[in-house]
Structure 1
């Protein structure tokens, strides 16, 4: 059984996601375009392509098509009826469906590479993946963040921040 906290964690790990409310629901959007929300009755609503919504319907018998003004726009299912792994996949699909094409393409490129060449290898795999998922694939991009912002990323610890700080200093850069 998944919770709103798990949905929040998954959604906010994606690039440029903001949390807000929409008609009284907890809602997540990317560059102002909503892609996931939780209704007061505990149903997660995901804006998905027709193909993704059909696949979700086949996989989740308690799910339904999400329809607005007579037009199918996605999929809805009780949050407790999906496990964490399924929720992760559905939220990512919804994000990709609503994210601007260039942002989605950069996310795809970042997630398909095992290691981003510009980041020091000493930070480790979890930190590299966390930075990539946050859209930070170069040291110049890392320099736009504070130490606290980096430490807030799941997978980035004090050792990774120390190594990144040293690499930035070698390039005459620093954290914000």
Structure 2
């Protein structure tokens, strides 16, 4: 069964996402704009474009539209009705709808070039690679020119990714940029 932990991991793996609350619910925001929230332990609310609401409702019977001022603004879906893959798709669609257009475009470009991520270590994993590419860091030289604290702030880049990047820089006889 898909869980709230899965939702949290997916949402926080996207660029510039923060976790907070909205009307007492756990919610996820991109630059202050909510895109996904937890209505109850087993129901998720996902903001979507009006065009997508109908398509998603057809694909996930048992979900319901969320309306505001007579128009559909998203869906409410029980976690028992979606697979992890479906939830990932809904979260990314929602993020794309609510994120600033330039940020969304950077994610699209990062996903398109993800398989050709320069000389970044392949063992980084998708969230860290996506975070680096979205930040415009597609090579180890570009990573080296960025301070470690800035790289570590990127959503999706954790201690393991930092260790792998440090090792890859050392193998190439490069060092992190010292901002002093």
TM-score, length-normalised on structure 2? Answer: 0.80
Distance in 2 of aligned mates of 1:142 and 1:111 = 24
Give the deviation of 1:92 after TM superposition.
0.3
2:166 is equivalent to residue 161 of structure 1: yes
Cα distance 1:89–1:173, how it changes in 2: closer, same or farther (>3 A)?
A: same
2:13 is equivalent to residue 7 of structure 1: no
Matches within 5 A, 1:11-160: 11-40=11-40, 42-113=42-113, 114-117=115-118, 120-121=119-120, 123-124=121-122, 126-127=123-124, 129-134=126-131, 135-138=134-137, 139=143, 140-141=145-146, 143=148, 144-146=150-152, 152=158, 156=161, 158-160=163-165
Tell me which moved more, 54-63 or 5-14. 54-63
Aligned-residue RMSD, C-alpha: 2.9
Task: Answer whether contact 2:151 2:157 (CA < 8 A) is retained.
Answer: no
The answer for unaligned runs of 5 or more in structure 1 is: none
Cα distance 1:161–1:68, how it changes in 2: closer, same or farther (>3 A)?
A: farther
Deviations 1:59-117 (A, max 9, x none): 11101111123321011111221110000000000000000000000000001012233
2:177 is equivalent to residue 173 of structure 1: yes
The answer for unaligned runs of 5 or more in structure 2 is: 138-142
Cα distance 1:142–1:3, how it changes in 2: closer, same or farther (>3 A)?
A: farther
Task: Answer whether contact 1:145 1:175 (CA < 8 A) is retained.
Answer: no
Distance in 2 of aligned mates of 1:160 and 1:127 = 8
Give the deviation of 1:13 after TM superposition.
0.2
Which stretches of structure 1, 4 residues or longer, exceed 4 Å deviation after superposition? none
Between Structure 1 and Structure 2, how many residues are aligned?
Answer: 170
Cα distance 1:90–1:146, how it changes in 2: closer, same or farther (>3 A)?
A: closer
TM-score, length-normalised on structure 1? Answer: 0.82
